[in-house]
């Protein structure tokens, strides 16, 4: 039943505290506000004069974070993690295999994700999961990233991109001859193979060149391109303290023992395991700050809008067009566009990773990129809404 109009909340002018006879109180309030404001300005000016370090306020924020890290180090919640982390060691181990020795079609990732691309590997009726992952009871079980992009998107992240360490050429099989490689490694601690770069980089724009004072991520560089992956699994420890895992395989297989796994068909796996992929160029500019990268692909405005969906495998530099990953077929949903993101967004994500129960320290630096997947190893089931599926078997 609708309440009678009399019982609606009183309009502003009927609230006693705001009536004219309380003008004095209002006046006193604004007066004290002004006093406070002046005090704040004086304080700020004094601080400026006293401090030789312009980053003193951010240093204070960081030291607040360090306090939490100290708490973590001494907390029982983490001290007993080896016993309490129910996903530890859940990874089912499948070695890489020579691609030519694979008996069943084992589509690989990361492939060309340019709109219109269709791979040459006939995967029959196998389809990727085209729904938002949460609608299939999947949750993110990890986040990690690669130096450069593993995927390839013409005009977004390809051989024409650039960064402080240059770019890599398109592979020979893609029918293009480029001299000069520029395959310098950016990360001297974790020497890794790099991928393609985005086209945002401008060496004359300070947001691509001003170093950032990294606190939590390791070996990262402003101006560089990184491809972020969020593996999702319906067998993850979703909604529990053990949800995020390193290695991510522990998270993917957390509630999937081998006996159960062996009963699954290819489509069951492609429907229940998926990865979000999104490519970023890091800028030193807080107007590109996004506070919650650990959660999954950023879907907002132009971000996470133009999505390429197909089935592939796990990635990384140990796989190539000779050595294939056997973790397939899984769904990939990849943002075709490259976005700028602040260095602080990544550093906040690394901080959040340090706060998980499982030790995610092996994922705080960029991993190597796989070489671009050859057409022969890329599935032919890319999702194009409204398109009639090509049937290569007929
Ligand atoms: C990627 O796919 C697009 C669209 O099909 C195509 O034009 C381009 O040549 C492909 N590039 C590579 C390297 O495979
Ligand atoms: C950067 O500035 C220099 C000197 O003004 C100019 O020659 C060069 O073309 C600029 N580079 C880019 C990428 O804009």
Q: Encode the chain (394 residues) as per-residue pLDDT tens digits.
A: 344 444 444 444 444 444 444 444 444 445 455 555 445 544 444 444 344 444 445 555 555 555 898 888 888 888 665 678 999 999 998 999 999 998 888 999 999 999 999 999 999 999 999 999 999 999 999 999 999 999 999 999 999 999 999 999 888 777 533 333 333 334 445 578 889 999 999 999 999 999 999 999 999 999 999 999 999 999 999 999 999 999 999 999 999 999 999 999 999 999 999 999 999 999 999 999 999 999 999 999 999 999 999 999 999 989 999 999 999 999 999 999 999 999 999 999 999 999 999 999 999 999 999 999 999 999 999 999 877 655 544 3
Query: Distance between CA 361 and CA 352 in Å, rounded?
Result: 11
CA of 203 to the centre of ligand 2 (A): 8
What residue's CA is closest to ligand 2, atom 7? 204
Q: Does residue 160 have its Cβ closer than 6 Å to ligand 1?
A: no
CA of 117 to the centre of ligand 1 (A): 6
Tell me the best of 204, 208, 209 to mutate to test the pocket of ligand 2, counting ligand atoms within 8 Å of each CB and taking the most.
Answer: 204
CA of 241 to the centre of ligand 1 (A): 42
What residue's CA is closest to ligand 1, atom 13? 174
Ligand (nearest to CA of 206): 2
What residue's CA is closest to ligand 2, atom 2? 204
Cβ density class 34-47: b for 16+ within 10 Å, e for less: eeeeeeeeeeeeee
Return the residue matching tokens 């949460």.
Answer: 134
| Cβ(106)–Cβ(328) below 8 Å | yes
Q: Does residue 88 have its Cβ closer than 6 Å to ligand 1?
A: no
Strand, helix or coil for residue 224: coil
Query: Distance between CA 360 and CA 146 in Å, rounded?
Result: 15
Ligand (nearest to CA of 201): 2
CA of 112 to the centre of ligand 1 (A): 6
Strand, helix or coil for residue 98: strand
| Cβ(336)–Cβ(113) below 8 Å | yes
DSSP 300-351: BTTBT-SEEEEEE---STT--SSEE-SS--EEEEEEEEEEEEEHHHHHHHHH
Q: Where are the alpha helices (DSSP H) in the chain?
A: 23-50, 56-74, 76-79, 81-84, 248-252, 258-261, 266-272, 343-354
Ligand (nearest to CA of 373): 1
Q: Does residue 178 have its Cβ closer than 6 Å to ligand 1?
A: no
> How many helices (H) and strands (E) would you count in the chain?
8, 10
């Amino acid at each position: 039943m609708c309440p009678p109009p009399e019982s609606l909340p009183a309009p502003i002018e009927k609230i006693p505290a705001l009536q004219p006879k309380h003008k004095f109180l209002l006046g006193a309030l604004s007066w004290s506000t002004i006093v406070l404001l002046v005090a704040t300005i004086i304080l700020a000016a004094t601080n400026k004069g006293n401090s030789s370090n312009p980053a003193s306020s951010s240093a204070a924020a960081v030291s607040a974070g360090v306090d939490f890290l100290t708490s973590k180090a001494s907390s029982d919640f983490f001290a007993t993690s080896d016993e309490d982390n129910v996903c530890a060691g859940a990874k089912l181990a499948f070695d890489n295999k020579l691609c030519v020795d694979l008996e069943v079609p084992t589509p690989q990732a990361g492939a060309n994700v340019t709109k219109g691309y269709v791979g040459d590997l006939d995967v029959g009726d196998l389809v990727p999961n085209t729904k938002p992952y949460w609608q299939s009871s999947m949750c993110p079980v990890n986040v990690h990233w690669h130096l450069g992009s593993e995927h390839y998107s013409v005009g977004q992240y390809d051989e024409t991109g650039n960064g402080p360490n240059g770019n890599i050429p398109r592979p020979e099989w893609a029918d293009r001859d480029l001299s000069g490689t520029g395959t310098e490694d950016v990360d001297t601690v974790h020497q890794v193979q790099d991928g393609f770069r985005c086209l945002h980089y401008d060496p004359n724009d300070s947001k691509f060149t001003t170093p950032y004072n990294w606190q939590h991520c390791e070996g990262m560089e402003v101006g560089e391109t990184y491809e972020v992956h969020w593996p999702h699994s319906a067998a993850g420890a979703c909604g529990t303290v053990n949800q995020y895992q390193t290695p991510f395989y522990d998270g993917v297989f957390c509630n999937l023992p081998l006996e159960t796994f062996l009963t699954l068909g290819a489509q069951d796996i492609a429907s229940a395991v998926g990865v979000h992929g999104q490519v970023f160029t890091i800028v030193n500019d807080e107007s590109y700050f996004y506070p919650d990268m650990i959660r999954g692909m950023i879907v907002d405005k132009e971000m996470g809008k133009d999505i390429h969906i197909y089935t592939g495998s796990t990635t990384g530099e140990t796989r190539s067009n000779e050595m294939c990953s056997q973790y397939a077929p899984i769904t990939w949903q990849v943002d075709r566009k490259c976005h700028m993101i602040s260095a602080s967004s990544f550093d906040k994500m690394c901080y959040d990773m340090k706060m998980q129960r499982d030790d995610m320290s092996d994922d705080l630096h960029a991993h190597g990129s796989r070489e671009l997947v050859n057409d022969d190893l890329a599935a032919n089931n890319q999702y194009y809404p409204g398109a009639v599926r090509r049937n290569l078997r007929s």
